[in-house]
Chains A and B, each alone.
Chain A
Amino acid sequence: MVNGKRVLIIIPALNESGSIADVVGEVRGELPGVDVIVIDDGSTDRTAAVAAAAGALVAKLPYNLGVGGAMRVGYRYARDHDYDVAIQIDADGQHDPRYVPKLVDLLDETDLVIGARFAGEGDYMVRGPRRWAMVMLSGVLSRVARTKLTDTTSGFRAANRRVIEMFAAWYPVEYLGDTVETLVHTARRGYTIRQVPVAMRKRMAGTPSHSPAKAMIYLGRAFAVLTLALIRR
């Protein structure tokens, strides 16, 4: 329970046996009385076993579906078990669970709350095409959602019952669909979106990619995904 609400933390994980125990442990330590479900998206390592040992519920997908597939499993679980709030957190430890109550508080007046970097708190910098992509995405999506969004690809989000219901029935599996397309869809259906500044930490395991070619490809794909999301029904 957080402020009288039943909260489910959804952590999609792919080969994160190195960090998942710490992340689950930290969430459970910081937020007693909150349920944690780790969606193992077809990992080849011991992610599922490690997460279960750390005290999380585990849903193990038979093969890799991509973040979107894993997220929908989480939202379906939240819907079927009647949770008031579902919160998604990355498995690499970059999201600080101490911000969760802040996100949950805002759900009283908002349907979907995003924990955003570059919104005042923390120090996180990107440059080049990756930055252009972020500027483009936040510019367009802020207009669509009629609220200021600075970090549209953030995987730190909280949803209330109405959005849980929608995400359980519909959640895209395509690249960037889990972030960009869901935002467009949510805003278009009249749900309200807000962002909350959060500080991000360095990943506990794994490395982010920094190659300029990859950044250019990312920009192109972000543009394509955004355009498609906007013209889709």
Chain B
Amino acid sequence: MKLTLVTGLTGLILLATIVELLRRRQLREKYGMLWLGVLVIVIPLSLFPRLLDNVAELLGVASGVSLVLFLGIIFLLLVCVHLSWEVSRLEEETRTLAEDFALLRTEIDADRAARNELVSTDG
């Protein structure tokens, strides 16, 4: 009973955190929805840890809890890979922006130099 209390409470606190982050617009919706989806699965499991025992048996895993642990690790690994992918994409995007910025600055400098020259020949 005590354990159920601990796991259940943890699940609820996580849920509250995600909802609050979403409410404050600190999380992009796509990530928020992902974590909410995870919690929808995790909270029932935290209240009834034996829920997955049948599925576990089917797969040859001794206990449902081990199965949850295994799936959890796989899921977290995938999330990490996804984040690396997102960071790579972001880096590519900021790189392009930095290049655009440098090129624009060069154009402006050239423009200004040409205009100054015009002014000095006029005067």
Q: Which residues of A contact B (CB under 8 A)?
A: 37, 39, 52, 57-63, 65, 69, 72-73, 76-77, 80, 173
**Does the CB pair B103–A77 fall under 8 Å?**
yes
When the two chains form their complex, are residues A39 and B98 in contact, meaning their CB atoms are under 8 A apart?
no
- On chain A, the residues within 8 Å of B78 by CB distance are none
Beyond A69-B95, A173-B95, whether A62 also contacts B106 by CB under 8 A is no
User: Which residues of A sit under 8 angstroms from B101, Cβ to Cβ?
Assistant: 61-62
| CA distance in complex: A39, B101 (Å) | 12
Q: List 24 A-B contacts (CB under 8 A).
A: A37-B106, A58-B106, A58-B109, A59-B102, A59-B105, A59-B106, A60-B105, A61-B99, A61-B102, A62-B98, A62-B101, A62-B102, A63-B98, A65-B95, A65-B99, A69-B95, A69-B98, A72-B99, A73-B102, A76-B99, A76-B103, A77-B106, A80-B103, A173-B95
Q: Mark B87-123, 1 if CB is under 8 A from A, else 0.
A: 0000000010011011101100110000000000000
Chain A contacts for B110, CB-based, 8 A: 57
Q: B105 contacts which chain A residues (CB < 8 A)?
A: 59-60
Evaluate contact between A59 and B95: CB separation under 8 angstroms: no
Query: Which of B101, B102, B110 has the largest count of A CB atoms less than 10 A from its CB?
Result: B102
Chain A residues within 8 Å of B109, by CB:
52, 58
Query: With a CB–CB cut-off of 8 A, which chain A residues contact B99?
Result: 61, 65, 69, 72-73, 76
Query: Chain A residues with Cβ under 8 A from B98's Cβ?
Result: 61-63, 65, 69
Q: Which 3 A-B residue pairs are closest in the complex by CB-CB distance? A: A59-B102, A59-B106, A61-B102
Main secondary structure of the interface of A (DSSP, over half): mixed
**Shortest Cβ gap from B103 to chain A (Å):** 6
Whether B95 contacts A57 by the Cβ 8 Å rule is: no
Give Cα distance in the complex from A65 to B98, angstroms.
8
Q: Which residues of A contact B106 (CB under 8 A)?
A: 37, 57-60, 77
- Bound Cα distance from A80 to B100, whole angstroms: 12
CB distance from A1 to the nearest CB of B (A): 19
Query: Nearest B residue to A173 by beta-carbon distance?
Result: B95
Q: How far is the CA of A42 from the CA of B98 in the complex (A)?
A: 10
Closest approach, in angstroms, between the C-beta of A68 and any C-beta of chain B? 9
> A37 vs B105: C-alpha distance in the bound complex, in angstroms?
13
Across the two chains, which residue of chain A brings its CB closest to B110?
A57
Alpha-carbon gap, A69 to B99, bound state (A): 7
| Bound Cα distance from A77 to B105, whole angstroms | 12
Report the minimal beta-carbon distance from A181 to chain B, rounded to whole angstroms. 15
Residues in A with CB closer than 8 Å to B95 are: 65, 69, 173
Q: With A and B bound together, what is the CA distance between A60 and B105 in angstroms?
A: 7
| Residue of B whose beta carbon sits closest to that of A69 | B95
Specify the chain A residue showing the minimal Cβ separation from B106: A59
Closest B residue to A80 by CB, please name it.
Answer: B103
A157 to chain B, nearest CB (A): 19
List A contacts of B102 (CB < 8 A): 39, 59-62, 73
